[in-house]
Amino acid sequence: MKLDLGPDADIYVARVDWTPDSKAILVQRQSRDQKRLDLIEFDPATGHGRERLTETSPTWVNLSDDLRILPDGRLVWTSERDGFRHLFLARDGALEQVTSGPWGIDRIVGVDEKQGKVFFLAGIETPIEKHLYAVDLPAAGMPAAPPRRLTEPGGWHDASMDKTGTRALITRSTPTQPPQTYLADADGKRIAWIEENRIEENRVEGEHPYAPYFAGHIAPEFGTLAADDGTPLHYSHLCPTLAPGEKAPALVIVYGGPGVGPLAARRWGNAVSQWFVRRGWHVFSLDNRGTSGRGKAFEDPIHRQMGDVEVRDQKVGVDWLRARADVDADRIAVHGWSYGGFMVLRLLAAHPGLFAAGASGAPVTDWSLYDTHYTERYLGNPAIDKGPYEQSGVLGVAETIDDPLLVIHGMADDNVVFENTTALVAKMQKDGTLFEVMIYPGQTHGISGAPDRIHLWRTIADFFDRRLGLPEGRRR
């Protein structure tokens, strides 16, 4: 039987679920402009449906996988209708809010139907941490109790649960502890280690792969800076060991786009940042407006103008770096990948001379070449209005890029297709701009495999060392 999805064929069928008794099908129907999401319950025998829920937004409605269907027909649902993703319970035609506050749910990970509990990941206390929480579903007409945190503070957690919501696999890390995974009960109590992976400073070399390097491990410092409208922006900063009065170069690592977790987070960092800080570099990252995890109002400024507010926010972070007495303001470099690669190009175009060099990896340069569902969410339908695409691309501003630039791309990239880089190369060649390019045949969006990964970072480091004019003693 064909389901009647309505007269408008220009829609997205975003999610499809059977009810537990297999008597109905729940379809999430999203409008082409992504400003409306309808949850429709269909009778599979007749194909007729009725709307159960509707979400609307003047910008866009974010999708999730949080729908849970209880045996009695109630729906567990998350919505950003108050500006943050919160838990709702749908019953008897009404939608009842269960959680609230200036924080958002990352995702639901489990439901204990017998006990009436929902488990979810969020950063209630601070957005630079993520924890597992539990909340009781309230009885009809009763107020909801506040959520309970089940994981210890000071770290970043991920979790998955069994179908009964009574056991959880939790992975935890901190800035000084690599990821650990353990089995926990419904109260978060550890039952058994799956992989303890513990590292302590007094461990002898050989007991842990990172033990030989842990003595020189630099933990980040965290803080906030004010955007031009006063919005607090979280940052992380790795500071090298310096002699009194010594100045060091700085590397800004940027992502800046929606849908990806923060760079400024209390979790185990990447080896590349540690490598640069041990070479005597400051390493800095800031989460600008538009990134996820801070609520819908924090994301919305990029609507129909990507590469604008994000650049302004990143400039706040760079200005903070330049004002530090231990930073060589003439030797600040920037690197990013994917949306971060796009951000590198927009930063160089908007602020010539701000950076001594930029390395742009797998950048989007023309948003009409990227995924339709993703791009139209933020920039609209180009068949109706091309303006946001022209304003948010790189090709129209590439002529102002004059600082040393390295562009990197995998030739088999099926996410940000290689044509993005060839279009930029052609534009800059016609403009007479000199730049450097490194391509990786056969590689997709992420450069994989040890030989190519090592080559990638040796290439980036060599480019920065040359372009920043670092003395040989710094190139270690």
> Per the residue annotation, which of 338, 360, 403, 409 is the catalytic one?
338
- Classify residue 62: in a domain, yes or no: no
| Cα Rg of the chain, angstroms | 24
331 and 241 fall within a common domain: yes
For residue 473, name the pLDDT band (cuts at 50, 70, 90). Answer: very low
| pLDDT surpasses 70 at 401 | yes
Q: Are 246 and 142 in the same domain? A: no
Out of 208, 217, 351, 445, pick the active-site residue: 445
**261 shares a domain with 209:** no
Least confident of 23-32, 34-43, 58-67, 191-200: 191-200
Count of domains forming the chain: 3
Closest CA to 108 of 89, 125, 132, 126: 132
Express each pLDDT in 352-394 by its tens digit.
999 999 999 999 999 999 999 999 999 999 999 999 999 999 9
How far is it, in rounded angstroms, from Cα 168 to Cα 166?
7
The whole-angstrom separation of Cα 233 and Cα 289 is 8
Residue whose C-alpha is closest to residue 403's, from 439, 350, 448:
350
Full domain range(s) for residue 34:
1-56
**Same-domain check for residues 147 and 29:** no
Contacts of 365 (CB under 8 A, 6+ apart): 342, 345, 393, 394, 395, 398, 420, 421, 423, 424
Q: Chain-wide mean pLDDT for the chain? A: 95
Mean pLDDT of 81-107: 94
Q: Are residues 282 and 172 in the same domain?
A: no
Q: Are 231 and 356 in a shared domain?
A: yes
pLDDT tops 90 at residue 72: no
180 and 42 inside one domain: no
* pLDDT tens digits, one per residue of 132-144: 999 999 987 778 8
Instruction: Give the three-state DSSP class for 341.
Output: helix
Q: Which of 191, 216, 241 is the last residue of a domain?
A: 216
User: Are residues 263 and 127 located together in one domain of the fold?
Assistant: no
Residues 291 and 168 in one domain: no
Those residues whose C-beta lies under 8 Å from the C-beta of residue 389, and which sit 6 or more positions away, are 366, 367, 368, 375, 379, 382
Our answer to whether residue 338 is catalytic in this structure is yes
Is there a single domain that holds both residue 339 and residue 444? yes
User: What pLDDT, on the 0 to 100 scale, is given for residue 143?
Assistant: 81
Question: Which residue is listed with tokens 């994989």?
Answer: 448
pTM over 0.85: yes
Domain co-membership, 204 together with 234: no
Residue 128: which CATH number? Answer: 2.120.10.30
CATH code (residue 464): 3.40.50.1820
Question: How do residues 317-359 score in pLDDT, each as one tens digit?
Answer: 999 999 999 999 999 999 999 999 999 999 999 999 999 999 9
Residue-level pLDDT at 46: 94
Give the pLDDT of residue 145.
92
Task: Let me know if residue 67 belongs to a domain.
Answer: no
Structure tokens at 283: 């390493």
Q: Which of 112, 313, 413, 465 is catalytic?
A: 413
Residue where a domain terminates, one of 216, 234, 265: 216
Helices in 218-324 by DSSP H: which ranges?
Answer: 271-278, 296-299, 309-322
- Is residue 211 assigned to a domain? yes
In a domain, 70, yes or no: no
Domain boundary among 216, 245, 276: 216
**Mind listing the pLDDT tens digit for each residue in 201-242?**
545 556 889 988 899 999 999 999 999 999 999 999 999 999
Give phi and psi for 316, each to the nearest 5.
-60, -45
User: In the predicted model, what is the mean pLDDT of residues 167-196?
Assistant: 97
Res. 476: pLDDT tops 70: no
Shared domain for 205 and 224, answered yes or no, is: no
pLDDT given for residue 475 in this prediction: 46
